[in-house]
């Protein structure tokens, strides 16, 4: 039985209105189980929104023996 594989992830996220943490976790869970993450950059957009750069380590299910 394999516990999975640790994988670094760099993600760009367009911020939506509302609480930020659930948006980040939802985006990260699309790639695996987030173990830790950090916002490493925020870039204002002309539309008034914000683009976030998120660095994370996720656990992906693996098929390794």
Is 65 among the domain residues? no
Is 16 among the domain residues? yes
Domain that residue 42 falls in: 5-60
Distance CA 61, CA 45 (A): 35
What's the domain count of the chain?
A: 1
Residue closest to 29 by CA, chosen among 62, 56, 48, 64: 56
pLDDT at 56: 96
pLDDT tens string 1-54: 456 788 999 999 999 999 999 999 999 999 999 999 999 999 998 888 899 999
What separation in angstroms does the CA of 17 have from each of 7, 23, 50, 61? 29, 9, 10, 31
Residue closest to 56 by CA, chosen among 21, 48, 14, 33: 33
pLDDT at 14: 92
Distance CA 12, CA 28 (A): 11
Is 15 among the domain residues? yes
């Amino acid at each position: 039985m394999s516990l999975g594989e640790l994988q670094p992830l760099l993600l760009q996220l367009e911020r939506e209105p509302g609480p930020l943490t659930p948006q980040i976790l939802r985006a990260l869970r699309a790639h695996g189980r987030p173990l830790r993450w950090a916002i490493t950059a925020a870039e204002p957009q002309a539309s008034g929104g914000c683009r976030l750069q998120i660095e994370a380590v996720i656990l992906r299910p693996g098929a390794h023996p």
